[in-house]
Chain A
């Protein structure tokens, strides 16, 4: 009997050990770190809320915050409708070779952000970049020196992200579309609803929970963006910090400058923002569910 009492804890122990060591302890430690300045564990100075106070005055953090918000907004506004559109297309029974197209559209998600970052860094280059070369080939007036990675960093980042994640998000929407009640669709058709009406009044309400989830993970992913701009911009934040994101700034402070306290403060601000956005999203989803 006593063996049975301990059995669940025994099974939970490996997870609990890993969870406590690699998540809970660092999380608690980062709270303390955010109120300190350190040079290794041997040299620690308590600075209270100075790290957070500096964040309010730091123009580079403001820039990073703004860039990240714009990237997240652009990403969501472009990616969600396009992913849903693609899913609707891939869900059409008349489309031949749907499975093949799905693989093609999904495949960029398999490549990995690092490769996509390097790849788009080359594609967007001036003069030798593929995009400028193609545009110049089609339209000779197109300037080969078009500065994608100088003047249009955020649109370039959003395009690269779109290429990478649209197929991934499409799969979620496709799964949701395939779960839409056929009887309901049939009934609406019999009632005389046209395609647009069926989409707005039957399909969209049915896939809302999945859409909410996709929006949430895309938003969190967008706020955590790091490798993509870092590699696209050659391990820099780009001219005038045009590609600086919150996590890039965290990385720069924590691992390049070595200011772990300030980096922890940035990390906590990011965490709070994400929790806040998640709560808003949850509230909106709940409202939809009640509706």
Chain B
């Protein structure tokens, strides 16, 4: 009987499979083993999801301080639970949060999200909202009176508060003081938008000599929904009524749209689009393409960080009002902290989470650190007298911008927590865009005619919102 020479394992395998396939299989095997051997991260404690790296930097020392005394009984709870911070991309946070609410996959004990994410949690029936109703706890601990009422509004749905607000997000007008001073204009004496556009008109200049202006009076956005939404709310405009029905097709909205269309329609525009938050947009701001922009407190921090060459050249002032004596601020953005409902949670365990939420959002050291790191004003009104807000800011020409934001904080308009709020804003923004395009095509600048046209576009926008809302079987809107 013939004996065949003994073959190695590799030789035998290579009779059947290609070298590439063997190599890929070996790599797959090796990486699987490595993943399995990887030490698991210790997540014992209260897991806190946030969407912003800046917020992680903000909370880290507070968390370290909390965790250092984690086992010390205090605050009326039996023991503190250590906090585990986790950063998530906003889209990942949203999906994991909703998956948890819908299907019971694990979610963090504390979830921080912004105003584009969180209202999605209450698109369905009220009983399906995955967050605890915080209203009784806010009442019990006196926070309902201590926190600025407008800050609750984006998180209050059908009379129940589902989030602890982190900010107020008041809006001021930032302007290029150097350019205005060179033109001999004292911006601080300007009190209305109409005055701003009239008195600053000489600043709309053709600097390059090509016959086209290169400098404008206010930063505009495309799509304009967020920016124009802030202006509309400044004037007292609302998107939805108390029953949750859209009410943005109104004469105030149409009037403001007509005004903005006159400012934005080319040729002859005095405001110009800037791609906000991008490198190109920053470049335009540094070049003085626009002399002013709407600046909520959180944006002032970004402006400081990203527009270094404007150090000492920018000042802020309250927004010019729409009418003499009108509101001098508005609101943009917002963040809340929610406590998801957990299965079989004891009241004591809930209190532990609640204590952390209050510590990170409502303690004096958190408020102070929030302002010093991000220029953001706390919604807790009794901390507004803190001297931190009086510190001069060299970037903003030595102004105490904290105090200026605080002075406007109490006047921030109320918002609506409907899951359709953003949809309304987007549709209204589209209506404004149509109006501007129409004004450009027809050359029409008559405010009355534009207002009439604005109504036409707003009617279409509102009909569309209603069409979507009425078919939501969970919302049960009144007729």
Interface residues, chain A, CB within 8 Å of chain B? 37, 39-43, 45, 47, 50, 54, 57-60, 122, 125-129, 136, 140, 143-145, 150-151, 234, 236, 238-241, 257-259
Once A47-B473, A59-B464, A126-B273 are accepted as A-B contacts, the answer to whether A42 and B128 lie under 8 Å apart by CB is yes
**Complex contacts, A145 vs chain B, CB 8 Å:** 212, 266, 272
| Interface contacts beyond A127-B284, A140-B210, A151-B437: sample of 18 additional A-B pairs, CB < 8 Å, sorted by A | A37-B471, A39-B474, A40-B103, A41-B103, A42-B128, A43-B125, A47-B471, A59-B460, A126-B273, A128-B283, A129-B280, A136-B210, A144-B210, A234-B275, A236-B223, A238-B223, A241-B430, A257-B468
**Complex contacts, A258 vs chain B, CB 8 Å:** 98, 120, 123
CB distance from B472 to the nearest CB of A (A): 7
Asked if A128 contacts B437 (CB within 8 A), the reply is no
Once A45-B474, A47-B473, A122-B280 are accepted as A-B contacts, the answer to whether A127 and B289 lie under 8 Å apart by CB is yes
Pick the residue among A41, A43, A59, A151 that contacts B474 (CB under 8 A). A43
**Complex contacts, B280 vs chain A, CB 8 Å:** 122, 125, 128-129
Distance A145 CA – B289 CA, assembled complex (angstroms): 12
Asked if A257 contacts B212 (CB within 8 A), the reply is no
Asked if B101 contacts A239 (CB within 8 A), the reply is no
Q: Give the contacts of B429-448 with A (CB-CB under 8 A).
A: 430, 433-434, 437
Asked if B123 contacts A240 (CB within 8 A), the reply is no
Asked if A39 contacts B212 (CB within 8 A), the reply is no
**Complex contacts, A240 vs chain B, CB 8 Å:** 430, 433-434, 437
CB distance from A265 to the nearest CB of B (A): 11
Asked if B467 contacts A58 (CB within 8 A), the reply is yes
Listed by A's residue number, 22 A-B pairs whose Cβ atoms lie within 8 Å are A37-B472, A37-B474, A39-B124, A39-B128, A40-B98, A40-B101, A42-B128, A54-B467, A54-B471, A57-B467, A59-B464, A60-B464, A122-B280, A125-B275, A127-B289, A129-B280, A143-B212, A236-B223, A239-B437, A257-B423, A258-B120, A259-B472
**Complex contacts, A50 vs chain B, CB 8 Å:** 471
**Complex contacts, A259 vs chain B, CB 8 Å:** 472
Distance A3 CA – B305 CA, assembled complex (angstroms): 70
Asked if B128 contacts A40 (CB within 8 A), the reply is yes
The reply to whether the CB of B102 lies closer than 8 angstroms to some CB of chain A is yes
Pick the residue among B123, B210, B471 that contacts A39 (CB under 8 A). B123
Asked if B124 contacts A43 (CB within 8 A), the reply is yes
Distance A75 CA – B266 CA, assembled complex (angstroms): 31
Asked if B471 contacts A42 (CB within 8 A), the reply is no
The reply to whether the CB of B399 lies closer than 8 angstroms to some CB of chain A is no
**Complex contacts, B67 vs chain A, CB 8 Å:** none
Distance A238 CA – B474 CA, assembled complex (angstroms): 30
- Going nearest first, the 9 A-B pairs with the smallest beta carbon separation are A39-B124, A40-B102, A128-B280, A239-B433, A45-B473, A37-B473, A43-B124, A236-B223, A43-B128
The reply to whether the CB of B222 lies closer than 8 angstroms to some CB of chain A is yes
CB distance from A32 to the nearest CB of B (A): 16
Once A43-B128, A143-B212, A144-B212 are accepted as A-B contacts, the answer to whether A239 and B430 lie under 8 Å apart by CB is yes
B223-242 interface bits toward A, Cβ cutoff 8 Å, 1 = contact, 0 = none: 10000000000000000000
In this complex, the member of B467, B471, B474 whose beta carbon has the largest number of chain A beta carbons within 10 angstroms is B471
Which B residue sits closest to A129, measured CB to CB? B280
In this complex, the member of A126, A238, A239 whose beta carbon has the largest number of chain B beta carbons within 10 angstroms is A239
**Complex contacts, A144 vs chain B, CB 8 Å:** 210, 212
Distance A234 CA – B281 CA, assembled complex (angstroms): 13
Which A residue sits closest to B125, measured CB to CB? A43
Give the size range of B's interface with the partner. Answer: 20 to 34
CB distance from A230 to the nearest CB of B (A): 13
Q: Give the contacts of B271-326 with A (CB-CB under 8 A).
A: 272-273, 275, 280, 283-284, 289
Asked if B102 contacts A42 (CB within 8 A), the reply is yes
Distance A41 CA – B98 CA, assembled complex (angstroms): 11
Which B residue sits closest to A36, measured CB to CB? B473
Which B residue sits closest to A45, measured CB to CB? B473
Distance A259 CA – B474 CA, assembled complex (angstroms): 12
Distance A258 CA – B420 CA, assembled complex (angstroms): 12
CB distance from B414 to the nearest CB of A (A): 24
Distance A122 CA – B279 CA, assembled complex (angstroms): 10
CB distance from A115 to the nearest CB of B (A): 16
Distance A128 CA – B437 CA, assembled complex (angstroms): 21
Distance A240 CA – B432 CA, assembled complex (angstroms): 9
Distance A43 CA – B430 CA, assembled complex (angstroms): 32
Asked if A239 contacts B128 (CB within 8 A), the reply is no
Asked if A128 contacts B284 (CB within 8 A), the reply is yes
B410-433 interface bits toward A, Cβ cutoff 8 Å, 1 = contact, 0 = none: 000000000000010000001001
**Complex contacts, A127 vs chain B, CB 8 Å:** 284, 289
**Complex contacts, A41 vs chain B, CB 8 Å:** 102-103
CB distance from B466 to the nearest CB of A (A): 12
CB distance from A30 to the nearest CB of B (A): 17
In this complex, the member of A47, A60, A127, A145 whose beta carbon has the largest number of chain B beta carbons within 10 angstroms is A127
Asked if A39 contacts B222 (CB within 8 A), the reply is no
Asked if B210 contacts A239 (CB within 8 A), the reply is no
CB distance from B285 to the nearest CB of A (A): 12
**Complex contacts, A42 vs chain B, CB 8 Å:** 102, 128
Distance A238 CA – B315 CA, assembled complex (angstroms): 33
Distance A262 CA – B103 CA, assembled complex (angstroms): 20
**Complex contacts, B430 vs chain A, CB 8 Å:** 239-241
**Complex contacts, A40 vs chain B, CB 8 Å:** 98, 101-103, 124, 128
**Complex contacts, A60 vs chain B, CB 8 Å:** 464
Asked if A39 contacts B125 (CB within 8 A), the reply is yes
**Complex contacts, A143 vs chain B, CB 8 Å:** 212
In this complex, the member of A59, A126, A129, A151 whose beta carbon has the largest number of chain B beta carbons within 10 angstroms is A126
**Complex contacts, A150 vs chain B, CB 8 Å:** 222, 433, 437
Distance A114 CA – B443 CA, assembled complex (angstroms): 38
CB distance from A7 to the nearest CB of B (A): 14
Distance A128 CA – B278 CA, assembled complex (angstroms): 11
CB distance from B306 to the nearest CB of A (A): 16
In this complex, the member of B124, B289, B434 whose beta carbon has the largest number of chain A beta carbons within 10 angstroms is B124
CB distance from A197 to the nearest CB of B (A): 48
CB distance from A229 to the nearest CB of B (A): 14
**Complex contacts, A129 vs chain B, CB 8 Å:** 280
**Complex contacts, A59 vs chain B, CB 8 Å:** 460, 464
**Complex contacts, A136 vs chain B, CB 8 Å:** 210
